[in-house]
């Protein structure tokens, strides 16, 4: 029986997996055997794959599964894709697929990588003469590059590496604060480990070099390195995705004209450009599509999220990531977004489903993956705005959520089939589904 209270434990990471699970289930769960069964149910039946999962992180006790779905019919730069998406939200894959099909017959998505520069920084404190520091930086810069030559060789041989190193004076923001601001090209790698290795060598070279720089006083030679780390804000690692068509071709419904739909759609986007409360939800919908593909391809969705939201606020106010206009009778809808992604390194060669997802996408380069991911975000936003400005978001969303509600209520297969048919013409809500299921079980069936 569980103790119903938390308690500390020493050396937990050194315990075997079995002993870790023993401690967890007996310490925290009233029914330890039920908890153990759930944990073990999600182990992979292939021992090698399970070991691989166990070694991704520390203290692994089981796997946490999310659905991997696919959205077909994405025409991107005249090439067809089926996009893998890992997400638990019920309507996302359906919405992406619907948007892909809509634009398939209207020329598809056009994309372009605008830039691929990534950033890393060495943050340090210096309280001496700024003119001496600038002279020191000019003196030490060639050595910064030469001391990292062994790290950058392979990347440089492929056309990447360190692009530039700048000394930045940040003393207006914080007393004594300076940084080495370094730009990188990491090609098909996301490049975090490469960038951080270079930065840590820069910090060592900077600190050691200051000790012997003849213009520095004894006090000025004591440069204090605070930290060396890449930045997940990548405003110069940009991709653009766009769709366009004649305004009259913008609707498939007889209930609204293309002109009326374009007007409402553009108004919806413009509201997200000026109202932060709306912009956050607007951009969250974009990230539904982006995160799902980032996860499926083994990339870091937390880094992408942080960088994207910082970019949305780059002008001092949080705004929409997408934009729309009508020009000369043509509707245009586009996104420009920072995405630092990789198709080599990390999980790309380890996780079997990541390898499968990348093969599904025709083994894309990092630049190609940037374009695919941006399209997923744009498609998701188009689908959401189309629903919001016409039928309302709940109609389609709750239809997709119906199966989740039925599963929560314990419906069997016959009941699911009957109520799925019934709710094709009725409004879905948790209470309505629960009531319909009750009527189905207690009488001849649902009615009305």
Would you please indicate which residues are annotated as catalytic (active-site) residues?
89, 284, 300, 397
List of E strands, 118-174? 118-125, 161-169
Are 377 and 337 spatial neighbours (Cβ–Cβ below 8 Å)? Answer: yes
Are 186 and 197 spatial neighbours (Cβ–Cβ below 8 Å)? Answer: no
Strand partners, 336: 240
Cα separation, 34 vs 58, whole angstroms: 24
Are 92 and 289 spatial neighbours (Cβ–Cβ below 8 Å)? Answer: yes
From first CA to last CA, the distance across the chain in angstroms is 49
> Cα-flanking dihedrals φ and ψ of residue 196, to 5°?
-65, -35
How do beta strands 238-246 and 177-185 pair?
unpaired
Q: How far is CA 234 from CA 160, 238, 284, 306, in A?
A: 16, 8, 19, 10
Cα separation, 413 vs 191, whole angstroms: 48
């Amino acid at each position: 029986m569980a103790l119903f209270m938390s308690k500390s434990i020493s050396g937990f990471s050194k315990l075997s997996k079995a002993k870790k699970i023993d401690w967890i289930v007996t310490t925290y769960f009233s029914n330890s055997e039920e908890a153990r069964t759930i944990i073990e149910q999600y182990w992979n039946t292939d021992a090698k794959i399970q070991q691989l999962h166990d070694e991704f992180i520390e203290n692994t006790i089981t796997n946490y599964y999310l659905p991997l779905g696919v959205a077909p019919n994405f025409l991107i730069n005249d090439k067809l894709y089926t996009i893998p998406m890992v997400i638990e939200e019920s309507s996302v894959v359906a919405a992406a697929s619907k948007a892909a099909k809509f634009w398939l017959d209207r020329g598809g998505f056009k994309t372009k990588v605008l830039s691929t520069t990534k950033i890393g920084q060495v943050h340090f404190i210096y309280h001496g003469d700024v003119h001496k520091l600038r002279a020191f930086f000019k003196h030490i810069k060639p050595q910064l590059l030469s001391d990292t030559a062994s790290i950058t060789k392979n990347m440089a041989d492929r056309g990447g590496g360190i692009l530039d190193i700048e000394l930045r004076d940040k003393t207006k923001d914080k007393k004594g604060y300076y940084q080495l601001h370094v730009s990188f090209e990491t090609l098909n790698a996301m490049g975090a480990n490469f960038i951080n290795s270079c930065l840590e060598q820069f910090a060592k070279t900077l600190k050691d070099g200051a000790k012997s720089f003849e213009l520095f006083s004894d006090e000025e030679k004591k440069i204090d390195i605070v930290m060396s780390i890449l930045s997940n804000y990548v405003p110069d690692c940009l991709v653009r995705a766009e769709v366009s068509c004649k305004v009259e071709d913008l609707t498939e419904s007889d209930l609204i004209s293309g002109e009326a739909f374009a007007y409402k759609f553009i108004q919806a986007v413009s509201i997200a450009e000026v109202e932060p409360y709306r912009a956050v939800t607007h951009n969250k919908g974009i990230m539904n599509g982006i995160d799902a593909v980032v996860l499926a391809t083994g990339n870091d969705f937390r880094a992408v999220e942080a960088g994207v939201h910082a970019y949305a606020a780059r002008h001092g106010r949080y705004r929409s990531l997408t934009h729309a206009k009508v020009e000369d009778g043509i509707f245009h809808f586009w996104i420009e977004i920072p995405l630092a992604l990789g198709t080599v390194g990390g999980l790309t060669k380890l996780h079997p489903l990541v390898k499968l997802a990348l093969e599904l996408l025709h083994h894309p380069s990092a630049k190609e993956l940037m374009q695919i991911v941006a399209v997923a975000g744009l498609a998701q936003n188009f689908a959401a705005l189309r629903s919001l400005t016409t039928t309302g978001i709940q109609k389609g969303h709750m239809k997709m959520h119906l199966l989740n509600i039925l599963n929560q209520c314990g419906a069997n297969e016959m009941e699911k089939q009957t109520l799925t048919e019934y709710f094709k013409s009725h409004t879905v809500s948790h209470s309505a589904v629960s009531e319909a299921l009750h009527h189905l079980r207690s009488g001849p069936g649902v009615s009305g």
